[in-house]
Amino acid sequence: MVTLKSRSLGVIIVTGGAGFIGANFVIDWLKLNHELVLNLDKLTYAGNLESLASVQGDARYLFAQGDIGDRALVGKLLAEHRPRAIINFAAESHVDRSIHGPEDFIQTNIVGTFNLLEEVRGYWNGLGEAERSTFRFLHVSTDEVYGSLDTGAPAFTENTPFAPNSPYSASKAASDHLVRAYHHTYGLPVLTTNCSNNYGPHQFPEKLIPLMILNATRGRALPIYGDGKNVRDWLYVSDHCSAIRVVLEQGRVGETYNIGGWNEMPNIDIVLRVCTLLDEWQPSPEGPATRLITYVKDRPGHDRRYAIDATKIHRELGWRPAETFATGIRKTVKWYLDNMSWVEHVASGEYRKWLETNYTERKQ
């Protein structure tokens, strides 16, 4: 591991920075800030250093492979680099995988978060008064901790009670509670964000939008759970990254901020938008991409609707998303079509095995 250069500059540590949202955050951060970034990532199936190729030669960037649950490593990195902030993206984050194998989610999202908090607490307690007052631990979480909404019900606010319905969302809810407890018990200066469904460049192609793009370009079925009418709020990943930067710099310590895209849409509408763009930019001689849509058995406990009320972050911090869904989805589909080599590298043998496990048994 190489030591970061220029100790006169501040340092932030990003955990899970080789994942989808984390990688976009690192790239955007280095475009907009002079501070140094240490990226700590375990490099599981969803971690991909190719996503960070554009910053590999940047003297302000350092990668360390490791687990947030490895307290010896985390403690060493904290002591060596003395960061002013931790942004914690590290998590197992796919609902279907949590149904097939919940233990990894418990270990990373709960036990890992606990171990990370313990090391950060020790580090923070050892700082001088000025550094302690400006240090922040920002925990990135999900709207899924709030459970499912009925049609017409008010959107999730920061005061909505937690009601997780999958092993994934339950593990994230537990991590959120731990972060809150470390603030109220120990005084650790924390911030928590709960975001809606992200989409955009560098997303692992097990998630809805990149999976549809990849399968359609290969002439494969586009699997849609149930009736396709499950509703999500869609947030372009760069908008999410900008919101996190705003919360980090301006958010009130101990507070939670919901981050949403103000884009509630059923899954089937998302797929139809993707198909339309693919027909425009890469039409198939076999016919329109919609011919590939295939409805499959719904997953167990599939939440019907999520919706984020992002009023608080707009009112207190002045943040709103820059992208509409119409602009964000065009950028996303175009990026994947222009970067199919990245997609092909990500679509490894393990990924293909996962698709077979998850979707073949659901065909109906």
Is 344 in the active site? no
Average pLDDT over residues 11-25: 97
pLDDT at 280: 97
Q: Three-state SS string across 16-79, please?
A: CCCCHHHHHHHHHHHHHCCCEEEEEECCCCCCCHHHHHHHCCCCCEEEEECCCCCHHHHHHHHH
Q: What's 83's domain CATH number?
A: 3.40.50.720
Instruction: Please indicate, yes or no, if residue 363 is contained in any of the structural domains.
Output: no
Instruction: Please indicate, yes or no, if residue 314 is contained in any of the structural domains.
Output: yes
Is 303 in the active site? no
Average pLDDT, the chain: 91
Average pLDDT over residues 50-55: 94
CA–CA distance, 260 with 240 (Å, rounded to integer): 8
Instruction: Please indicate, yes or no, if residue 275 is contained in any of the structural domains.
Output: no
Instruction: Examine the pLDDT at 364 and tell me if it is beyond 70.
Output: no
First to last CA, the chain: 50
**DSSP, residue by residue, 118-141:** HHHHHHHHTS-HHHHHH-EEEEEE
pLDDT at 53: 93
Instruction: Please indicate, yes or no, if residue 71 is contained in any of the structural domains.
Output: yes
Instruction: Examine the pLDDT at 352 and tell me if it is beyond 70.
Output: no
Average pLDDT over residues 214-238: 95
Whether this prediction's pTM lies above 0.75 is answered by yes
Write the CB contacts of 23 (distance below 8 Å, at least 6 apart in sequence). Answer: 17, 48, 51, 52, 202
Instruction: Please indicate, yes or no, if residue 212 is contained in any of the structural domains.
Output: no
- What would the pLDDT profile of 255-300 be if each residue is shown by its tens digit? 999 999 999 999 999 999 999 999 999 999 999 999 999 999 887 7
Average pLDDT over residues 22-46: 94
Average pLDDT over residues 144-159: 95
pLDDT at 47: 81
Instruction: Please indicate, yes or no, if residue 118 is contained in any of the structural domains.
Output: yes
Of the residues 144, 206, 233, 303, which is catalytic?
A: 144
Is 70 in the active site? no
CA 34 to centroid of chain Cα atoms: 24
CB atoms within 10 A of CB 33: 14
Residue that the structure tokens 């590290």 belong to: 90
Of the residues 92, 96, 119, 143, which is catalytic?
A: 143
What domain count does the chain have? 1
Instruction: Please indicate, yes or no, if residue 224 is contained in any of the structural domains.
Output: no
- What would the pLDDT profile of 68-101 be if each residue is shown by its tens digit? 999 999 999 999 999 999 999 998 866 667 787 8
Of the residues 61, 168, 199, 306, which is catalytic?
A: 168
Q: Which of 244, 138, 136 is nearest to 189 (CA)?
A: 136
361 or 121, greater pLDDT: 121
Q: What residue numbers bound the domain in which 71 lies?
A: 11-200+236-261+305-323
Q: How confident is the model at residue 4 (pLDDT cuts 50, 70, 90)?
A: very low
Write the CB contacts of 250 (distance below 8 Å, at least 6 apart in sequence). Answer: 316, 317
